Amino acid sequence: MSDTLAVATRGLSKKGFLDLEVDPELDLVAEINRLKKEKNAVILAHYYQESEIQDIADYIGDSLGLSQKAASTDADIIVFAGVHFMAETAKMLSPQKKVLLPDLKAGCSLADSCPPALFREFKKKYPDHVVVSYINCTAELKTLTDICCTSTNAVQIIESIPKDQPIIFAPDKNLGAYLKKKTGRDMILWNGACMVHEIFSYERIVKLRNRYPNAKFIAHPECEDHILAMADYIGSTTGLLKYTINDPATEFIVATEAGILHQMEKASPYKTFIAAPPENNCACNECPHMRLNTMEKLYLCMEHELPEVILPEWVIEHGRKSIDRMLEISAAAGLVG
Ligand code: 13P
Ligand code: SF4
């Protein structure tokens, strides 16, 4: 979690959410819909949220789509059903709005793998380099970044930089390695990774592919190189979803957080989706941070308008430029998340 973050802690337990009892008889869907109207609030949800949260959201998308929505919404309150860096990005893009996150402890292992103080020192070794950071990083890291990117626009962002301009890419070494291959650019990579995308099992995926010989194997670029090498398609969560809609195959093995399967199944009810298995006994990978949000916490946070994400002025001022630049390049390339 960002060390620059100041949080409105009124009434919050140490747990990071409002630890209040919710009447089990309460119709949470009806209550959340009521609160949305009464407070002119919009719920933005990432594909990795539990299905019920996705179903009540006003907008479901990938990190780029969610940033674009956060920048353009006319709601008074943005309720972010996602993780910390996403809510921070929304706050930077719409600083005049109230941004709520149902559980402040919904962090991100990838963002945590790049502490701003260490990165500041690292950056000093490469004074002539431009810094491109994956949006999955802290607000403070964004203040040390020239251009942000997401998995939807990363190739276009790298290609927008003159060929003779050296680049540092942070924090995801797997996405960075994929981009080096895809763009032919020799970038300095920060050594960070996402815990969810790093534990896919090569052996278990090969076994699954043998069991479903007609299935397409699709993967998110946060996965490791040996997993990506097997993939029929590599893309962001929105890219993966679109691929399953447009491709004629009827079976897909999907290597990303399993929450995305909900939208895939809704969009193509007659197709079969199998979550790629991790290197443990589980059948699929779920992000422990994303899954901290629940319908009860969503309801409580809307009712009490807590926890709220608040950022220092200087973080908004310096961090926002890197996100604005990303949105400009994405708009020019016609990219929507
Ligand atoms: P996208 O939303 O860009 O597909 O990235 C996935 C992710 O890891 C979000 O935390
Ligand atoms: Fe972070 Fe990975 Fe979870 Fe996305 S899936 S929020 S990158 S830990």
* Site to substitute for ligand 2 among 63, 84, 89, 109, most atoms within 8 A of C-beta: 109
Ligand 2 in reach of 81 Cβ (< 6 A): no
Ligand 2 in reach of 290 Cβ (< 6 A): yes
Pocket of ligand 1 (CB under 6 A): 62-63, 136, 150-152, 194, 222, 236-237
* Phi, then psi, of 297 in degrees rounded to 5: -65, -35
Ligand 2 in reach of 218 Cβ (< 6 A): no
The superfamily (CATH) of domain 6-107+289-311 is NadA-like (3.40.50.10800)
Burial 273-312 (b: 16+ CB within 10 A, else e): bbbbbbeeeeeebbbebbbbbbbbbbbbbbbebbbbbebe
The tokens of 60 are what? 């479901």
CA of 199 to the centre of ligand 1 (A): 16
Q: DSSP secondary-structure letter at 10? A: T
Does this chain's domain 110-195+319-332 share its CATH topology with 202-275? Answer: yes
Domain boundaries, the chain: 6-107+289-311, 110-195+319-332, 202-275
Indicate which ligand has the atom closest to the C-alpha of 287. 2
For residues 253 and 219, give the distance between their C-alpha atoms in angstroms, rounded to a whole number: 8
Indicate which ligand has the atom closest to the C-alpha of 84. 2
CA of 286 to the centre of ligand 2 (A): 9
Q: Which CATH architecture has domain 202-275?
A: 3-Layer(aba) Sandwich (3.40)
CA of 128 to the centre of ligand 2 (A): 30
What is the full per-residue pLDDT of the chain (337 aa) written as tens digits? 444 444 555 567 778 888 889 999 999 999 999 999 999 999 999 999 999 999 999 999 999 999 999 999 999 999 999 999 999 999 999 999 999 999 999 999 999 999 999 999 999 999 999 999 999 999 999 999 999 999 999 999 999 999 999 999 999 999 999 999 999 999 999 999 999 999 999 999 999 999 999 999 999 999 999 999 999 999 999 999 999 999 999 999 999 999 999 999 999 999 999 999 999 888 889 999 999 999 999 999 999 999 999 999 999 999 999 999 999 999 999 999 9
Closest ligand 1 atom to 63 CA: 2
The superfamily (CATH) of domain 110-195+319-332 is NadA-like (3.40.50.10800)
Indicate which ligand has the atom closest to the C-alpha of 148. 1
CB 18 within 8 A of CB 300: yes
